[in-house]
Structures are given as C-alpha cells and as structure tokens.
Amino acid sequence: MNRFIEKLTQAQRKNNSLICVGLDSDLDRIPAHLKGSGDPVLEFNKAIINATRNICCAYKPNLAFYEALGLRGLETLKKTIRHVPEEIPVILDAKRGDIGNTARKYAEGIFAELGGDAVTLSPYLGFDSIAPFLEYKDKFAYVLAVTSNKSATDFQYLDCDGKPLYLHVVEKVRSWNQDENLGLVVGASQPQQIREIRQAAPELPFLIPGVGAQGGDLGKAVTYGTADGGIITINVSRGVIFASDGEDFAEKAAEALTQFNNRTNVVG
C-alpha cells in the first residue's frame, strides 16, 4: 500500500475521523489577539493543530494563503508542516499543472523542498503534467475531477464524446495509476457525482472538499464515497478553523471538528 494512504488510513482509525483540516489560514481572518505576534499565521496554525491532532486524519494547507504573504508566508508554511505530528499526513493543496520539465520542478518543490505527503494537481495539460509526481512512489497526488465551486460547470460538466469531461479525467487517472499513488478530488456540492465517480473508480482514494462553508451534503458524501470500501477523506477548512474569531478559536475549532466527526461517523 502507498505510504501516504497507509498513514492516512491509520490516522483515520486511530483518531476515528475522516476529516482533513484545511489550513486555509487567511491572515485577514486570524483572531485579532494573535495579530501582535511575530508570526500570527504560524501561531494560529500551531494552536489549531495542537487542538485537533487527535481528532482528524490529515492537514491540508492551501498554498495560495501562504504565497500571498511572500517569503514570510513560505517560511510559515514550512514551519507549519514541521509542526504536524509525524503520524498525520499533510496534503499540499497546490492544484499545479504544467509541461513535463516544469512539472518535475513543481514536484521537487512540493515533495522534496516543502515536504508534503500528498499534493493536488490540475488535469488540463494531461499525462505529462502528472507523470513527474508519480515518480515519488511514497507520495500521492489527487487530480481534480469535480471541484466544489459554482463555476465547476463551465468546463467540467461539458458533454465530451457522450460523457462529462470529469469522467474522462477519472478514466485517464485510472489508466495512469500504475503505482497506486493517484486519487481524485471530487467536490461534495453535487453528491450525485460522488456516487457516479465511485462506481467508475472503486479503487481510487477521494479527497472531498466543499462540505463546510461551501454547503455540500456531508452524509451523502460519506455514504457514496465509502461505498464498496472506498477510501475517502473529507476536507473542511473555514468550517473548522474559523469556528470562532475569539481567544477560544482553537477550542471552538476542535468542537466544530468533533461535530463533523460525529455527523460523519453516524453516517459511515
């Protein structure tokens, strides 16, 4: 079994949680009392991680929130990754996608330089934009199939040769998955797609965003995603980390996460 998936599923069992905490730690939304610290985002992330490390299965920082802060943000990201306990995997949400010699450099940046266990990738450039990531056999890549945003329908749902574009992505990802280090991003905003894609790809792990602030149906996401033993992780970002903007933010994040866990586990 792929090392990331092993780590993920072990954390899911140990912590009794399918929830991945999205560290979309927007500086503008960090509680005011942290703003005076030398590195407010790092302080925020550390407190969130300390409060949730035994009740989640993964962390997923989205690189945009760190890149927006420049060099300092990248430093914060590296320190955040180092603060995550060894037994909890880190998914770097980067949605990269570029031609082969360039994708090789992105893979180096994400896996070797930053030290993520997994990454998210965009499929638009096809196989050679994904291949360099697959050479890291212990690591893992989730390719975007269906995203959870409103404009996902602009292209992903187009009927291409008799089926939606996202199902072409699913088929290709299956065919590329020789080393079992590929999965899919399947947004929860349209639960029907989770069912349809699980039927099309029973063996692929899913990363499911869109159940928190974006309002997707958590119960259906779990039921459809885990059908026939399917491996999933459900990402919640704002719905957990910004549960409170007061001094109790970490405690409230843990409470919000526990509620997501309870709702998930009843269903599962």
Backbone Cα Rg of the chain: 18
Strands 91-96 and 140-146: unpaired
Task: Rank residues 104 and 220 by Cβ distance to a second copy and give the closer one.
Answer: 104
The answer for residues whose C-beta is within 8 angstroms of residue 11's C-beta and 6 or more apart is 17, 56, 57, 58, 87, 88, 89
Q: How far is the CB of 15 from a second copy (least distance, A)?
A: 26
At residue 80, the 3 state secondary structure works out as helix
Catalytic residue among 95, 137, 163, 220: 95
Report in angstroms how near the CB of residue 125 gets to a second copy at its nearest: 5
Helix, strand, coil % (nearest 5) of the chain?
A: 50, 15, 35
Among 12, 52, 80, 148, binds a second copy (CB under 8 A): 148
Active site residue 95: yes
Q: How far apart are CA 229 and CA 232, in angstroms?
A: 9
Q: Of residues 42, 169, 184, 188, which one binds a second copy by CB under 8 A?
A: 169
Separation between Cα atoms, residue 17 and residue 33, nearest integer Å: 30
Contact pick of 3, 26, 55, 174 for a second copy (by CB under 8 A): 26
Position among 70, 82, 86, 229 found at the interface with a second copy (CB under 8 A): 70
Pick from 10, 46, 54, 109 the residue near a second copy by CB under 8 A. Answer: 109
Q: Output the furthest CA–CA distance in the chain (Å, rounded).
A: 56
Interaction of residue 71 with a second copy, rule CB under 8 A:
yes
Instruction: List residues near a second copy by CB under 8 A.
Output: 24, 26, 62, 64-65, 67-71, 73-75, 78, 93, 95-103, 105-106, 108-109, 112-114, 122-129, 144, 147-156, 158-161, 165, 168-169, 172, 214
